[in-house]
Amino acid sequence: MGDSLERFIVNNREAFDDLEPTAEVWQKIRKKRSYKDKVVNVLWRVAAVVLLVSTVLLILERGNDQERGAQERGLTDEFSKVEDYYTSLIIHKKQEILNSKNPSLRRGFLIEIERLDEQYEKLKETYLEQNAGDMLTDAMINNLKLRIQILNKQLEILNQMNKDQENEKSYSEI
């Protein structure tokens, strides 16, 4: 069907060329065209304004995020240093207890520390989820200090027991 229509148009082209649309038809075409052009121009302008405003807002928000991030990193870096210091002390003192000669006492001592470790991990999860308030940071540091105090007390007890055992040996040898 397409081929027959095309042949008809090609064969009768001269008949189509002599007909001109009236001025009225051209005016309607121009009106429709100018209306569409105006709508498209308005839409482009609106799109440009939206793009400009959103870009400015994103730049401002990114600047605020970077500023907030720098403040949070400062707190986090400072806290990380404190945490690293106390954690290294705790590890050292735990190792001293593990090296003690009394396994039943050693196990009992470390159970209490493990409970405090679990509490500390819960505090740390909350700290990471909620952007660390001062009270939470203080609670975490107090937990670390308490573990160190308990470990120090346990080491004192172990040292005293070792001294007592040595004294007993020296008395028994006499």
Q: Which of 155, 150, 76 is nearest to 116 (CA)?
A: 150
Residue 69 in this model has a pLDDT that exceeds 60: no
Number of Cβ within a 10 Å radius of residue 123: 18
- pLDDT interval class at 74 (50, 70, 90): very low
Higher pLDDT, 133 or 9: 9
Residue 1 in this model has a pLDDT that exceeds 80: no
Structure pTM? Answer: 0.48
